């Protein structure tokens, strides 16, 4: 099933890119919970985390901390949530694996 993230990967719809290599793309969430809310996706087109190949998973694991570091630097906070939903019941809305990096500046209260 094609998703909106496939269309972003194909360049059919724009996004604000913050990181890209051969395996991973990171871009700003269109509806951010907080300033700097970033989505990190593998270029491998799978809906859920457990469906990813070992290679795609390894590359995600390698770059996620680097992207989180950049988000911290740009937003000026080093408090953040990493959120990753799998399946409709778990509140996944876009069925392409993605990690949310959600900065939590000190004035943020609750889980947004
Ligand atoms: P989920 O609930 O699936 O974990 O989160 C999907 C996320 O994708 C949401 O935070 C939503 O705002 C974001 N999103 C949905 N469509 C687009 C889009 O076209 N562009 C961008 N940048 N983010 C999107």
ipTM of the complex: 0.99
Better-predicted residue by pLDDT, 106 or 63: 63
Residue 110 is assigned to a structural domain of this protein: no
What integer is the mean pLDDT of 43-67?
A: 98
Whether 94 maps to a domain, the answer reads yes
Is 112 inside a domain boundary?
Answer: no
Which residue numbers are catalytic?
98
Inside any domain, residue 31:
yes
82 within ligand 1 shell (Cβ under 6 A): no
Query: CB of 80 within 8 A of CB of 72?
Result: yes
The pLDDT, as a whole number, for residue 1 is: 73
The token pair that represents 23 in the structure block: 């395996």
82 assigned to some structural domain: yes
Any idea what the CATH number is for the domain that residue 23 is in? Answer: 3.30.428.10
Number of domains in the chain: 1
> Could you tell me if residue 67 is inside a domain?
yes
108 found inside a domain: no
Ligand 1 closest atom vs CA 28: 22
SS3 22: coil
Token code pair at residue 18: 């913050």
Across-strand partners of 101?
38, 82
* Residue 91 CB less than 6 A away from ligand 1: yes
Mean pLDDT for the stretch of residues 9-26: 97
- From CA 39, how far away is CA 30, in angstroms rounded? 9
Predicted confidence at residue 58, as pLDDT, reads 98
Ligand 1 neighbourhood includes 93 CB (under 6 angstroms): yes
Structural domain contains residue 25: yes
The residue segments making up the domain with residue 38 are 4-103
Closest ligand 1 atom to Cα of 100: 4
Q: Is the CB of 94 under 6 A from ligand 1?
A: yes
Helices (H), ranges, the chain: 4-9, 54-75
pLDDT tens digits, one per residue of 89-104: 999 999 999 999 999 9
């Amino acid at each position: 099933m094609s998703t909106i993230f496939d269309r972003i990967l194909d360049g059919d719809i724009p996004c604000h890119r913050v990181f890209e290599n051969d395996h991973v793309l990171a871009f700003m969430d269109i509806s951010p919970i907080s300033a700097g809310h970033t989505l990190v996706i593998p270029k491998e087109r799978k809906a859920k985390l457990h469906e990813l190949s070992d290679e795609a998973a390894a590359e995600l694991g390698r770059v996620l901390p680097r992207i989180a570091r950049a988000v911290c630097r740009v937003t000026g906070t080093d408090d953040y949530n990493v959120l990753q939903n799998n399946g409709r019941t778990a509140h996944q809305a876009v069925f392409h694996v993605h990690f949310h990096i959600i900065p939590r500046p000190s004035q943020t209260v609750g889980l947004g």
